[in-house]
């Protein structure tokens, strides 16, 4: 039996169950008890001893300080020893009276006993490598005395009364060790400890929002990623969110492209919304810092400005029970980021430095000059052009020189990371100061990513009742992205796609050394080399994120905590196109954008814990106010006397554009509460509720309430499980609840008037015009209801640990922009209509494959499936005004006019979001074929070599009505497989990612393999149809072919990737330099092998970013690089 008092917000460590020791004990004092208590009132501790041992303990409240907090860690010790430990320093001793009852009386011997004390010192080392273990917690069992090891692994505990003790040493990732030691008065006892790496850490502490909990006591679905996964192994992980990829079950991470600092989508348990935001809420050190944004602009991703080295842990709240504490913002999941903090002990100084280089992982060949010219001629002739006026003469083709634009666009990119941190402190004040600098050159010229940040985290105990802390970080990110990221095709192509389209016979500069501005092809693609080298597109984000808190313990069981936080963000864009390139016109053009935002938070919570009936009750109540303010200003000018001044003298332009500015404000007021009831540590109940009031909603619906409940049953701790040896741990979790999605822009419910303009002569006059959005006073939250069932367990003596979750969620009252008749004066209205469903299974499996002193191999597999389905899209009236369900609507991508028809995505009831909608190609027309439905240009008869498009509605014509769903971008499953092998001082980490069963529009091919030859294309067109080569799916060259989305350009996006591979070596003491106590060198490779059938650069791509209605599309996105990184990390 075991007894345990959990306390919200405080760590309650677990101990292994100790059983069947009670029966044989003769004297009550010889009975054993097991206690694991931290900061609980003495009275509660005494009650626990009494209950476990069955003895009665009598005392007077005037003698015994019953409210004194005590912390003990006792495993199966005698009652007498336990009482000694609990009463240490109180001046109270225990004595047994004649009835078998224990009396607590004033100890007359205290004065003598305290006259002299000794101390304990020692070093904690890794049992395998012998390296010092830093930050290990050393506890003198049965006392409140603790210490932490310093950088050299040493610890000292002073003021120890003489006697025999056991010290307990704990460290995450190691098995706790118990060592006996005897202390003599006035002497220092030595206790060196070896810690063995533990098989699997089953019970780490996880953040759950407004508190923390032992994982064993969790009732909700929470996934965690620990610091070690973000440290040296992932050093090339410039942005944190890509470091999450594959590591967490149920969390799908997709990047827009391979550009440094690119936008990333994080979807927790599928897509729960159609047009509102689907990104999770990010909470950094307890501060709800930012809702992620569907906007592709990476500056809206708060993770971009957090250095992975600063992270202690990331906990992801997934089910409604876990996220309900964040109420209206919980529907997309919550990512809790905890940064590292200082710990008591000697100060520790860590330096890390790495350098790496990166290259393109895969290239796609394009046509050379003669091939391009030849095919252009054929395309012209096949389109009915006159033979006399073909674009290129035989002489031109014969003398053509090829310029390899893609190669000119690419380079080897260098990257460097530097980080230092200093941490330490004592009980009064603990500190962590860190700084880091990351610089990454992109593999496309003109692109780079720079980040520097500093952090100061402080914690202090002002008294035994009041503790405080602060977190403060400052970050600046600067990205250069001079038209290297491609979001478009044809004339508007950028970066590598433009390079692949540029006429290969044309030198980038003319004979006078001036840039050729556009490609001399039918599609006048702008010169990507000139753009990348000459254009300025500098994006900066500076963020100041800070919070302070104070916590007052009114009693050991009742605490008040107040937190004030601020998140200040400053964004800037410098854009300048000089006259030497197309965008610069004849005399340059540029603009400067600057914005500042602040987000202020005040959160106040009260926690209370007490035994109740058969169990223990923890209560949390809180009140929170959060306000946001954003303003921005843009200045634009053109026609400069010189390009030299760039954007720094916009006033010198001869064309001055009107300045633009804007402001946006909103507020959220919340009441929150959570009750945990723990019965016998086996039956765990959680009730959570939050009531949110948000300014962004309609006057009639400002407030929403989001309740949830959960139950967990620690089956493994039941009596009936003792007989079996398969499961070493087993827990069942069930939860149900409702959370909200409030992500709409402010002011949507108001009847807005904005400035329209009229002219009179050369004068401009502003006029107040109606907005096209119809106001909606009834606008309110999307509401997601989710059921979750989970099973956590471990088998084979903890060598295999698993966590399995199944969930079913339904989001209703979706925020959808609905068309309204223009006769109303408006075109659209944001309404709450429709619903969507997500069902899924998540598995996380951790195994210890080999566990020997010299060789250790552990693996973690995450596997997730999410089935998404649109259930309802609202209604529209029929001719009699009766509402009829809307069954589908099509969606045009942001840069949509390339395809004809442009709406290549479909949202349909019964289908998942992300459906790709286009023409089914069944083959190519061959000679002798007949049929009216030829191809989309509506030629009268069929031409061999053209696409044979399925006439799905059978009307004999190929029209937009013949389009069908060509695939879906949601994967059937995805996940990751990570391995850690340690052999002596070597360690090897390998992370594989995989995605299976999703479809991607390869729009790069839809241009580059369409064989229209309006600009350069990829070498796939060499396989085109002709009368002697008919067994192909590449049509004949034809300049007039409609640029529609054919099924040939929808590809399987499945892949298996060796995402990172890290080899590390811990230097032996003899090799340590400069006074270092530990040092590690490592080499990391990233994106080393990708197994995929996808023909573009990389299947992990989403050129158009975040909008959940969109399928995945690859518009010749910035290619992913292969990275090699070399680093060293030393601790002093």
Partner 1 sequence: MRYQPSLTPLVLAVGLSLAACSDLLVENPKGFTTTDTFFKTGADLNSGTLAIYSAARGFQGQSNWTTPELASDQTRADNREPNAGTYGPDRLSWSAASGRATVPFGTHYAVITEANLVLAKGPGIQTSDTLTKAYNLAEAKFLRGYAYLRLTKMYDGVPLLLTPEEQANPSPTRATVEAVHQAVIKDLIEAKAGLPAVWSGDDGYGNPTQGRVTKGAAEMALADLYLWRSSFMGKNEWQLASDWADSVIASGLWSLNDDYIKTFLPSNKGNSEEILVITNSGVVDRTSNIFQLFYYPRDWGLDAGQGGGWGLIHPTNWFLNSYLPGDYRGSRGFEGYKTDSAYVAGGCGLTICADTLGDGPMPYKYRKSDNGATWWLGDVDVPLYRHAEALLIYAEAQNELGNTGVAVQYLNMIRARARKGTGAQARTEPHDYGTAGEAMDKLSVRDAIFMERAWEFAFEAKRWFDLVRRDSEEPGYWKNSLIAHDPSFDQTPPNPKPLPDEYKKRWPIPQAQIDANPALCQNPGYGGTPCPPGVTVP
Contact set for partner 1, span 725-784 (CB under 8 A): 746-747, 749-770
- Select 517 or 799, whichever has its Cβ closest to partner 1: 517
Closest contact distance (angstroms) between CB of 263 and partner 1 is 26
Paired tokens of 1081? 């060198």
Closest contact distance (angstroms) between CB of 820 and partner 1 is 6
DSSP 531-582: HHHH-EEEEEEEEEEEEEEEEEEEETTEEEEEEEEEEEEEEEEEEEE-TTSG
Contacts of 1025 (CB under 8 A, 6+ apart): 924, 944, 945, 1032, 1034, 1035, 1036
**Which residues inside 541-560 make contact with partner 1, applying CB under 8 A?**
554-555, 558, 560
- Select 130 or 883, whichever has its Cβ closest to partner 1: 883
**Which residues inside 618-647 make contact with partner 1, applying CB under 8 A?**
623, 625, 627, 638
- Select 568 or 826, whichever has its Cβ closest to partner 1: 826
Question: Contact, 411 vs 377, CB < 8 A?
Answer: no
Closest contact distance (angstroms) between CB of 560 and partner 1 is 6
How far is CA 38 from each of CA 18, 68, 143, 258, rounded to the nearest angstrom?
19, 12, 11, 48
3-state DSSP assignment of residue 339: strand
Instruction: Specify the stretch interacting with partner 1 by CB under 8 A; choose among 187-195, 435-443, 471-479, 815-823.
Output: 815-823
Closest contact distance (angstroms) between CB of 776 and partner 1 is 13
How far is CA 704 from each of CA 287, 669, 760, 765, rounded to the nearest angstrom?
21, 11, 50, 43
Q: Strand 413-425 to strand 345-360: parallel, antiparallel, or no bridges (unpaired)?
A: antiparallel
Q: Nearest Cα to 383, choosing from 798, 776, 939?
A: 939
**Which residues inside 448-507 make contact with partner 1, applying CB under 8 A?**
none
Paired tokens of 854? 């010299």
Closest contact distance (angstroms) between CB of 622 and partner 1 is 10
Paired tokens of 918? 């286009």
Closest contact distance (angstroms) between CB of 1075 and partner 1 is 50
Closest contact distance (angstroms) between CB of 589 and partner 1 is 10
- Select 85 or 1015, whichever has its Cβ closest to partner 1: 1015
- Select 132 or 556, whichever has its Cβ closest to partner 1: 556
Instruction: Specify the stretch interacting with partner 1 by CB under 8 A; choose among 262-270, 288-296, 533-541, 820-828.
Output: 820-828
Name which position in 877, 954, 956, 1070 contacts partner 1 (CB under 8 A): 877
Paired tokens of 232? 């040296």
Closest contact distance (angstroms) between CB of 517 and partner 1 is 5
CA dist., res. 1016 & res. 498, Å (int) = 9
**Which residues inside 559-578 make contact with partner 1, applying CB under 8 A?**
560
- Select 748 or 856, whichever has its Cβ closest to partner 1: 748
Window 660-679: contact mask with partner 1 (x via CB under 8 A):
-xxxxxxx-x----------
Cα 386 to chain centroid distance, Å, stands at 57
Window 196-215: contact mask with partner 1 (x via CB under 8 A):
--------------------
Instruction: Specify the stretch interacting with partner 1 by CB under 8 A; choose among 127-135, 249-257, 475-483, 821-829.
Output: 821-829
Measured from the Cβ of residue 33, the count of other Cβ atoms closer than 10 Å reads 27
Question: Contact, 604 vs 560, CB < 8 A?
Answer: yes
Per rule CB under 8 A, is residue 822 in the interface with partner 1? Answer: yes
Q: Nearest 5°: phi and psi at 78?
A: -65, 150
Residue that has been written with the tokens 């008092």 in this structure: 5
Q: Nearest Cα to 702, choosing from 781, 773, 627, 626?
A: 781
Q: ∠ at Cα 236 (233, 239), nearest 5°?
A: 110
Closest contact distance (angstroms) between CB of 629 and partner 1 is 10
Closest contact distance (angstroms) between CB of 901 and partner 1 is 7
Closest contact distance (angstroms) between CB of 688 and partner 1 is 20
Contacts of 440 (CB under 8 A, 6+ apart): 238, 260, 261, 358, 413, 414, 415, 448, 449, 450
Closest contact distance (angstroms) between CB of 524 and partner 1 is 5
Instruction: Specify the stretch interacting with partner 1 by CB under 8 A; choose among 87-95, 240-248, 315-323, 871-879.
Output: 871-879
Length of the chain measured in residues? 1132
**Which residues inside 601-620 make contact with partner 1, applying CB under 8 A?**
602, 604, 606
Judge if the upstream peptide bond of residue 901 is cis by omega within 30 degrees of 0. yes
3-state DSSP assignment of residue 269: coil
Supply the Cα-derived Rg of the chain in whole angstroms. Answer: 33
Per rule CB under 8 A, is residue 659 in the interface with partner 1? Answer: no
Measured from the Cβ of residue 132, the count of other Cβ atoms closer than 10 Å reads 20
Question: Contact, 521 vs 512, CB < 8 A?
Answer: no
Name which position in 536, 542, 827, 1032 contacts partner 1 (CB under 8 A): 827
Paired tokens of 1058? 């060796």
How far is CA 763 from each of CA 658, 758, 769, rounded to the nearest angstrom?
13, 8, 18
Q: Nearest Cα to 924, choosing from 1013, 839, 1031?
A: 1031
CA dist., res. 587 & res. 581, Å (int) = 10
Using the CB atoms, write b or e for 1028-1065: b if 16+ within 10 Å: eeeeebbbbbbbbbbbbbbbbbbbbbbbebbbbbbebb
- Select 867 or 902, whichever has its Cβ closest to partner 1: 902
- Select 363 or 754, whichever has its Cβ closest to partner 1: 754
Closest contact distance (angstroms) between CB of 611 and partner 1 is 16
Per rule CB under 8 A, is residue 723 in the interface with partner 1? Answer: no
- Select 703 or 1132, whichever has its Cβ closest to partner 1: 703
**Which residues inside 523-542 make contact with partner 1, applying CB under 8 A?**
524, 526
**Which residues inside 17-56 make contact with partner 1, applying CB under 8 A?**
none
- Select 29 or 904, whichever has its Cβ closest to partner 1: 904
**Which residues inside 127-166 make contact with partner 1, applying CB under 8 A?**
none
- Select 190 or 507, whichever has its Cβ closest to partner 1: 507
- Select 772 or 1019, whichever has its Cβ closest to partner 1: 772
CA dist., res. 1017 & res. 1001, Å (int) = 17
Name which position in 651, 723, 881, 1070 contacts partner 1 (CB under 8 A): 881
**Which residues inside 882-911 make contact with partner 1, applying CB under 8 A?**
897, 900-901
**Which residues inside 945-984 make contact with partner 1, applying CB under 8 A?**
960
Q: What is the 3-class SS of 428-449, one letter each residue?
A: CCEEEEEEEEEEEECCECCEEE
3-state DSSP assignment of residue 410: strand
Q: At what angle do helices 79-87 and 42-53 cross, to 10 degrees?
A: 180
- Select 615 or 746, whichever has its Cβ closest to partner 1: 746
Name which position in 582, 796, 841, 850 contacts partner 1 (CB under 8 A): 582
- Interface size with partner 1, residues (CB under 8 A): 78
**Which residues inside 693-722 make contact with partner 1, applying CB under 8 A?**
693-696, 702
Closest contact distance (angstroms) between CB of 883 and partner 1 is 11
Per rule CB under 8 A, is residue 825 in the interface with partner 1? Answer: yes
- Select 274 or 410, whichever has its Cβ closest to partner 1: 274
**Which residues inside 256-275 make contact with partner 1, applying CB under 8 A?**
none
Closest contact distance (angstroms) between CB of 766 and partner 1 is 7
- Select 16 or 758, whichever has its Cβ closest to partner 1: 758
**Which residues inside 315-354 make contact with partner 1, applying CB under 8 A?**
none
Closest contact distance (angstroms) between CB of 747 and partner 1 is 5
**Which residues inside 501-520 make contact with partner 1, applying CB under 8 A?**
517-518
**Which residues inside 1007-1046 make contact with partner 1, applying CB under 8 A?**
1014
3-state DSSP assignment of residue 509: strand
């Amino acid at each position: 039996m075991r007894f345990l008092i959990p306390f919200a917000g405080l760590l309650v460590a677990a101990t292994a169950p100790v059983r069947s020791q009670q029966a044989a004990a003769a004297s009550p004092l010889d009975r054993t008890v097991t206690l694991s208590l931290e900061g609980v009132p003495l009275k509660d501790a005494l009650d626990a001893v009494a209950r476990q041992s069955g003895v009665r303990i009598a005392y007077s409240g005037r003698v015994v300080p019953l409210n004194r907090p005590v912390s003990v860690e006792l495993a199966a010790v005698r009652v007498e020893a336990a009482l000694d430990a609990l009463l240490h320093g109180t001046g109270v001793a225990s004595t047994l009276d004649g009835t078998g009852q224990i009396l607590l009386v004033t100890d007359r011997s205290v004065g003598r006993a305290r006259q002299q004390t000794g101390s304990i010192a020692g070093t904690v080392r890794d049992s395998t490598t012998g390296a010092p273990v830093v930050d290990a917690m050393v506890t003198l069992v049965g006392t409140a005395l603790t210490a932490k090891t310093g950088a050299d692994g040493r610890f000292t505990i002073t003021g120890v009364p003489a006697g025999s003790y056991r010290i307990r040493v704990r460290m995450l990732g190691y098995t706790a060790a118990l060592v006996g030691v005897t202390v003599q008065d006035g002497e220092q006892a030595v206790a060196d400890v070896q810690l063995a790496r533990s098989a699997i850490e089953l019970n780490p502490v996880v953040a759950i929002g407004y508190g923390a909990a032992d994982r064993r006591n969790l009732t909700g679905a929470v996934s965690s990623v620990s610091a070690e996964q973000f440290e040296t192994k992932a050093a090339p992980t410039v942005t944190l969110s890509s470091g999450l990829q594959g590591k967490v079950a149920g969390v799908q991470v997709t990047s827009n492209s391979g550009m440094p600092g690119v936008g990333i989508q994080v979807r927790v348990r599928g897509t729960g919304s159609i047009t509102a935001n689907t990104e999770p809420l990010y909470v950094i050190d307890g501060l709800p810092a930012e809702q992620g944004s569907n906007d592709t602009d990476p500056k809206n991703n708060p993770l971009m400005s957090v250095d992975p080295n600063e992270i202690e842990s990331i906990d992801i709240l997934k089910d409604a029970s876990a996220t309900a504490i964040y109420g209206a913002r919980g529907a997309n999941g919550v990512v809790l980021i905890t940064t590292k903090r200082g710990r008591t002990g000697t100060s520790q100084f860590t330096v890390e430095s790495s350098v790496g280089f990166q290259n393109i992982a895969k290239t796609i060949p394009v046509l050379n000059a003669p091939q391009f010219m030849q095919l252009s001629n054929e395309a012209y002739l096949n389109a009915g052009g006159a033979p006399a006026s073909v674009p290129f003469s035989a002489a031109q083709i014969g003398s053509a020189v090829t310029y390899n634009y893609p190669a000119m666009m690419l380079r080897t990119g260098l990257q460097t990371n530097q980080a230092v941190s200093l941490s330490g402190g004592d009980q009064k004040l603990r500190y962590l100061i860190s700084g880091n600098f990351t610089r990454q050159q992109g593999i496309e010229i003109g692109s780079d990513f720079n980040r520097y940040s500093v952090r100061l985290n402080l914690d202090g105990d002002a008294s035994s009742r009041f503790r405080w802390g602060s977190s403060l970080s400052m970050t600046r990110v600067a990205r250069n992205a001079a038209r290297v990221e491609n979001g478009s095709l044809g004339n508007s192509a950028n970066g590598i796609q433009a390079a692949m389209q540029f006429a290969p016979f044309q030198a980038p500069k003319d004979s006078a050394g001036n840039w050729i501005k556009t490609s001399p092809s039918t599609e006048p693609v702008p010169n990507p080399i000139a753009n990348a080298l000459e254009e300025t597109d500098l994006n900066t984000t500076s963020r100041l994120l800070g919070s302070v808190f104070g916590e007052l313990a009114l009693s050991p069981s009742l605490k008040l905590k107040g937190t004030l936080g601020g998140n200040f963000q400053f964004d800037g864009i410098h854009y300048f196109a000089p006259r030497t390139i197309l965008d610069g016109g004849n005399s340059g053009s540029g603009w400067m954008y600057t914005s500042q935002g602040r987000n202020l938070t005040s959160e106040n919570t009260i926690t209370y814990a007490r035994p109740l009936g058969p169990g223990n009750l923890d209560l949390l109540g809180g009140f929170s106010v959060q306000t946001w303010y954003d303003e921005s200003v843009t200045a634009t000018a053109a026609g400069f006397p010189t390009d030299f001044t760039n954007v720094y003298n916009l006033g010198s332009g001869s064309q001055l554009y009107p300045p633009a500015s804007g402001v946006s404000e909103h507020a959220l007021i919340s009441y929150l509460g959570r009750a945990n009831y723990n019965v016998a540590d086996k039956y765990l109940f959680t009730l959570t509720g939050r009531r949110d009031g948000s300014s962004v909603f309609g006057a009639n619906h400002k407030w929403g309430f989001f309740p949830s409940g959960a139950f967990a049953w620690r089956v493994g701790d039941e009596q009936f499980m003792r007989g079996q040896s398969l499961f070493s741990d087993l827990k069942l979790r069930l939860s149900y609840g409702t959370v909200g999605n409030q992500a709409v822009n402010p002011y949507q419910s108001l009847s807005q008037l904005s400035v329209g303009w009229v002219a009179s002569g050369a004068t401009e006059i502003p006029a107040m015009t109606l907005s096209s959005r119809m106001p909606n006073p009834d606008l309110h939250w999307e509401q997601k209801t989710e059921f979750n069932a989970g099973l956590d367990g471990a088998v084979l003596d903890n060598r295999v640990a698993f966590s399995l979750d199944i969930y079913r969620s339904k989001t209703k009252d979706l925020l959808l922009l609905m068309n309204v008749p223009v006769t109303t004066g408006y075109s659209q209205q944001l309404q709450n209509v429709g619903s969507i469903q997500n069902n899924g299974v998540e598995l996380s499996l951790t195994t210890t494959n080999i566990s020997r002193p010299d060789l250790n191999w552990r693996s973690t597999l995450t596997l997730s499936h999410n089935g998404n389905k649109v259930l309802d899209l609202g209604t529209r009236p029929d001719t009699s005004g009766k509402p009829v369900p809307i069954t589908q609507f099509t969606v045009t991508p942001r840069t949509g006019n390339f395809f004809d028809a442009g709406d290549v995505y479909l949202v349909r009831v019964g289908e998942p979001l992300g459906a790709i909608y286009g023409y089914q190609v069944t083959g190519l027309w061959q000679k002798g074929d007949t049929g009216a439905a030829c191809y989309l240009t509506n030629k009268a008869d069929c031409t061999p070599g053209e696409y044979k498009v399925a006439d799905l509605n059978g009307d004999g014509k190929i029209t937009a009505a013949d389009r069908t769903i060509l695939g879906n971008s949601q994967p059937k499953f995805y996940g990751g497989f990570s391995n850690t092998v340690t052999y002596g001082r070597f360690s090897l980490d390998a992370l594989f990612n995989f995605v299976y069963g999703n479809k991607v529009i390869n729009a790069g091919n839809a241009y580059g393999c369409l064989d229209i030859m309006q600009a350069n294309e990829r070498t796939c067109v060499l396989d085109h149809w002709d009368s002697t080569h008919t067994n192909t799916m590449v049509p004949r060259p034809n300049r007039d072919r409609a640029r529609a989305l054919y099924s040939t350009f929808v590809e399987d996006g499945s892949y298996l990737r060796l995402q990172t591979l890290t080899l590390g070596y811990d230097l032996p003491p003899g090799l340590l330099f400069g006074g270092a106590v530990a040092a590690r060198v490592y080499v990391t490779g990233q994106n080393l092998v990708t197994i995929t059938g996808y023909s573009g650069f990389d299947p992990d791509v989403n050129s158009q970013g975040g909008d959940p209605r969109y399928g995945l599309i690859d518009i010749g996105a910035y290619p992913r690089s292969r990275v090699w990184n070399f680093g060293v990390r030393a601790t002093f």
